[in-house]
């Protein structure tokens, strides 16, 4: 999943495209920036499960997809990768 990219919203209503290092339904690890000037952040589901939120360098980051949508995305990715491996 290192090639995956998602769009997250920062406090100032700015939308950033960030890299995903790991995606699971209970947490999403993202990487902001590139090279030696990057920062890693863990996004966890909000209380109501309608978004993922985290904080890096004092800024709140929000990924506006629900837990169910992320589970469906993960299942679709696993299904797609499984189809390519079989013969």
CA–CA separation, 71 vs 48, rounded Å? 15
Query: Is 30 in contact with 8 (CB distance < 8 Å)?
Result: yes
- Residue 20 pLDDT > 70, yes or no? yes
Is the Cα dihedral 59, 60, 64, 69 positive or negative?
Answer: positive
pLDDT range class, residue 77, cuts 50, 70, 90: confident
Q: State which residues form the domain around 10.
A: 5-85
Beta strands 59-63 and 15-24, pairing class: unpaired
CA–CA distance from 4 to each of 32, 35, 52 (Å)? 13, 17, 17
Give the count of domains, the chain: 1
pTM listed for this prediction: 0.85
């Amino acid at each position: 999943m290192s090639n995956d990219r998602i769009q997250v919203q920062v406090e100032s209503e700015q939308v950033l495209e960030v890299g995903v290092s790991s995606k699971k339904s209970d947490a999403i690890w993202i990487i902001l920036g590139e090279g030696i000037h990057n920062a890693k952040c863990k996004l966890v589901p909000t209380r109501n499960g309608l978004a993922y939120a985290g904080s890096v360098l004092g800024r709140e980051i929000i990924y506006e997809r629900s837990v169910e949508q992320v589970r469906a995305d993960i299942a679709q990715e696993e299904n797609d990768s499984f189809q390519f491996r079989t013969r």
